[in-house]
A = this chain, B = another copy of it.
Amino acid sequence: MIIAVDAMGGDYAPANPVLGSIAAARDAGVHTILVGDEDAVRQELGKHDADGLPIEVVHASEVIRMDEPTLTALRSKRDSSIRVCTRLVREGKAHGIVTAGHTGAAMAITKIVVGSLPGVKRPALALTVPTPHGKPAVFLDVGANVTCRSSNLVQFAIMGNIFAEDILQIKRPRVGVLSNGEEATKGNELVRKTVALLERTSLNFIGPVEGRDLFNGQCDVIVTDGFTGNAVLKAAESIAELAFFVLRKELLSTWVTKVAALMMRRSFKRLKQKFDYTEYGGALLLGVKGVSIICHGRSNPQAIKNAILVAADFYDHRASERISDRISELYAQHIL
């Protein structure tokens, strides 16, 4: 099993993708292909003791900049590092993709070049979110599909469920659909139709859930459309940033609080870790052949490494095949 890593994606490329690949090879023996400007990548590899590690380099002559419009990136840059990654997957030379590059371009190019799994109408972007105890929850779609039908949300539930089972090792994940209240009378038309369909599946469906259930551990998989998911996720990130900002300002205000802050720096570190995205590396584009993990542009080597391990784990569990199988069951049962 081989993972294609976009060596040019992210704010710290090629350094961090290269370090992430080296760590994944050293710590878990995962085989990667670093895709990007060959000279730059080999030079970066030469800085570290990477000889003998299962790391290949494949050249790509172009890079998609973070600020490029997705459509331009899609049409004009035929030899971008992310596009070459997707080609490797299409040709069977790699089984998953990790990139810290342009999210929109990575999603669009993966969908076009690699394509969806049999039966999957719309791939979705899934992210893990922190909860008070134990395992995180899976939240999707966080931005791949602005407008959705109930059948799309049912497919997202299947995909999120497999992610929770295979990667997070949660047995019988509790699946909910995001609504504005738990009562059956609440929810918009999309939610009510989705609830009716999900009740007919064999998933451990717990019904409509509220925004508060995202981070309170009451639910393992929460599905919504990409518009709502994106708004919710960015607002949650933003209020967490605000909380840290206010706390930092308060703690730097007097010498007593400065000393206290020093005394509890480890606690703050663990708090930040809890809200850190890097544990599972990034957002997973679920429903495409292979799997595509899109890391934050600022990802550190640890985040890239974790993303590579998740991609490898996903392949090892045959998660894609399981998604396809579960979805074709729903077609057979006339739920979809």
Q: Is the CB of B236 within 8 A of A250?
A: no
Contact with B along A281-306 (1 / 0, CB 8 A): 00000000000000000000000000
Question: Is A188 interfacial (CB-CB < 8 Å)?
Answer: yes
Q: Is the CB of A214 within 8 A of B235?
A: yes
CA distance A260 to B243 in the complex (A): 19
Question: Is A147 interfacial (CB-CB < 8 Å)?
Answer: yes
Question: Is A76 interfacial (CB-CB < 8 Å)?
Answer: no
CA distance A227 to B228 in the complex (A): 9
Contact with B along A213-231 (1 / 0, CB 8 A): 1111000000010111011
- Which residue in chain B gives the minimum CB-CB distance to A217? B242
Oligomeric state, in number of copies? 2
Assuming the contacts A180-B143, A242-B132, A245-B132, asked whether A231 and B211 have C-beta atoms less than 8 A apart, the reply is yes
Assuming the contacts A214-B239, A215-B239, asked whether A264 and B256 have C-beta atoms less than 8 A apart, the reply is yes
**How near does chain B come to A125, taking the closest CB pair, in angstroms?**
11
Tell me how many residues of A have a C-beta within 8 Å of chain B.
62
Question: Is A259 interfacial (CB-CB < 8 Å)?
Answer: yes
Q: Which of A108-116, A156-164, A266-274, A317-325 forms part of the interface with chain B?
A: A266-274
Question: Is A246 interfacial (CB-CB < 8 Å)?
Answer: yes
CA distance A268 to B228 in the complex (A): 32
Q: Is the CB of B180 within 8 A of A230?
A: yes
**How near does chain B come to A276, taking the closest CB pair, in angstroms?**
12
Assuming the contacts A247-B271, A263-B256, A264-B261, asked whether A231 and B234 have C-beta atoms less than 8 A apart, the reply is no
Question: Is A251 interfacial (CB-CB < 8 Å)?
Answer: yes
Question: Is A146 interfacial (CB-CB < 8 Å)?
Answer: yes
Question: Is A1 interfacial (CB-CB < 8 Å)?
Answer: no
Q: Is the CB of B242 within 8 A of A264?
A: no
- With a cutoff of 8 Å between Cβ atoms, the chain B residues found around residue A242 in the complex are 130-132, 215-216, 274
Question: Is A257 interfacial (CB-CB < 8 Å)?
Answer: yes
Q: Which residues in window 66-105 of A have CB below 8 A to B?
A: 69
8 A-B Cβ contacts within 8 A? A146-B180, A147-B188, A178-B231, A210-B234, A228-B231, A236-B238, A239-B239, A243-B275
Contacts A210-B234, A259-B260 aside, 5 further interface pairs with beta carbons under 8 A come to A211-B238, A212-B234, A227-B228, A250-B270, A260-B260
A residues contacting B by CB (< 8 A) are 69, 130-132, 143, 146-147, 178-181, 183, 185-189, 191, 210-216, 224, 226-228, 230-243, 245-247, 250-251, 253, 256-257, 259-261, 263-264, 267-268, 270-271, 274-275
